[in-house]
Chain A
């Protein structure tokens, strides 16, 4: 009898603070397959999928270290008003260690469609304006791109969890492309990082030690309002 429910699968996801660098990396073909499945089932407004997903595998440690440093720098900048100025490296597990310790790092950026499908092209020729077909347009629909990235990411995360792969999301980075001139593999506006692998420490493990006390999500009734 089928007892596994989607709720129970999705509920298994835990934020990973640090991955186990001694554990073998998930097979590349598996990651490729899960991404392909997520691509297949994720809907997109007008079928544009105005984002690109760049996958850095185990051999790209230098790139991951670079992004780790960039994320630390971003946090430092965001908290520059904090008089205490804690060095995030001094924490029990340095913030964003998930980026430097993961097997795969997945970077979502926006994407301009230079080869629309026949239906999109036909609509364009009839006067319909499709923002993803121009660079200016893509730049103006950050919220739409972001929303769709969130949908893709969740589908992919569900598939990963279903296969016993741990993951973390990172949103703390600079979105302006000007800030990424020193990063050869980010040539478009970044939207989200996902790090994958086998967890060594979950955020919940640190909670059990008394860290993050009181860090609970807003109550259900404050987020969902039935009218």
Chain B
């Protein structure tokens, strides 16, 4: 197999466009729902899943659901406060600049990934179930055991969707700072299972890297060799 390294890898050039969005443009430049739906469909089509269960659901909140977005932003703030023992993070930490996850307030679309139970296994899965296979993805009382592998698949879906968005010059941001406990989500009626990821999309206005303070510039990722161990 002769493989030549491509200097113009399409995938790499598209992925390199990613920049963390602090604020999205708002107003008249909203993304078309049709575009978002098409990209989500493409992501669904190419994202693999263990045993084809896709044990997650993607709830998409469009521009008209600002109240939900405001409420979810408040949950993130509350979560940060609870995690660090700060009563009011907004006044204690963010008088000059809102937290990174404030992109939730200005995004066009907010995606909430949650766990999902499969009540209708496909014919192949059903055959195996009848033969005695155990699939926690189909059981209300076992679905929680899948949080870790389901999160991996959510990461795959989200990253694929991100790549498709970036190709179309649509900006995205991820938020992992929110309460996982479902009891904190009672005012969001469609979130009935543990949330796994928040993702925002739109046209970026303020990017983290463009306005990083000197201190923030020291927030670099771990060296390649700390993460990759080439055993040989």
Specify the chain B residue showing the minimal Cβ separation from A170. Answer: B50
The verdict on B57 contacting chain A, using a C-beta distance below 8 Å, is yes
Specify the chain A residue showing the minimal Cβ separation from B119. Answer: A222
Are A172 and B50 neighbours in the complex by a CB distance under 8 Å? yes
In this complex, the interface size class of chain B, counting residues with CB under 8 Å from chain A, is 35 or more
Question: A128 to B74, alpha carbons, bound, how many Å?
Answer: 18
User: Given A120-B219, A224-B60, do A143 and B147 touch, yes or no (CB 8 Å)?
Assistant: yes
Least CB distance from A146 to B in Å reads 4
Of B59, B123, B127, B215, the contact of A119 (CB 8 Å cutoff): B215
The verdict on B20 contacting chain A, using a C-beta distance below 8 Å, is yes
Are A78 and B222 neighbours in the complex by a CB distance under 8 Å? no
Interface residues of B in 50-65 (CB under 8 A from A): 50, 52-54, 56-62, 65
Are A146 and B151 neighbours in the complex by a CB distance under 8 Å? yes
Are A146 and B152 neighbours in the complex by a CB distance under 8 Å? yes
Are B20 and A13 neighbours in the complex by a CB distance under 8 Å? no
Residues of chain B within 8 A (CB-CB) of A36 are: 224, 228
Per-residue CB contact flags for chain B residues 195-232 toward chain A (1 = under 8 Å, else 0) read: 01100000000000000000110111110101111111
Residues of chain A within 8 A (CB-CB) of B41 are: 220, 224
Tell me the total A-B contact number using a CB cutoff of 8 A: 276
Of A6, A39, A43, the contact of B164 (CB 8 Å cutoff): A6
Residues of chain B within 8 A (CB-CB) of A30 are: 3, 5
Are B49 and A217 neighbours in the complex by a CB distance under 8 Å? yes
Are B231 and A150 neighbours in the complex by a CB distance under 8 Å? no
Are B3 and A26 neighbours in the complex by a CB distance under 8 Å? yes
Residues of chain B within 8 A (CB-CB) of A175 are: 148
Specify the chain B residue showing the minimal Cβ separation from A212. Answer: B124
The verdict on B190 contacting chain A, using a C-beta distance below 8 Å, is yes
Per-residue CB contact flags for chain A residues 39-69 toward chain B (1 = under 8 Å, else 0) read: 1111111111101111111011000000000
The verdict on B143 contacting chain A, using a C-beta distance below 8 Å, is no
Of B11, B65, B151, B176, the contact of A45 (CB 8 Å cutoff): B176
> What are 20 A-to-B residue pairs whose CB atoms are below 8 Å?
A13-B48, A29-B5, A45-B177, A46-B219, A52-B226, A55-B231, A55-B232, A81-B134, A82-B133, A113-B222, A117-B220, A117-B221, A117-B222, A118-B218, A119-B219, A163-B5, A222-B57, A222-B116, A226-B60, A227-B60
Residues of A within 8 A of B (CB): 4-7, 9-11, 13, 15, 23-30, 32-33, 35-37, 39-49, 51-57, 59-60, 78-79, 81-84, 111, 113, 115, 117-120, 122, 127-129, 142-144, 146-151, 153-155, 158-159, 161-165, 169, 171-172, 175, 185, 191-192, 197-198, 212-218, 220, 222-227
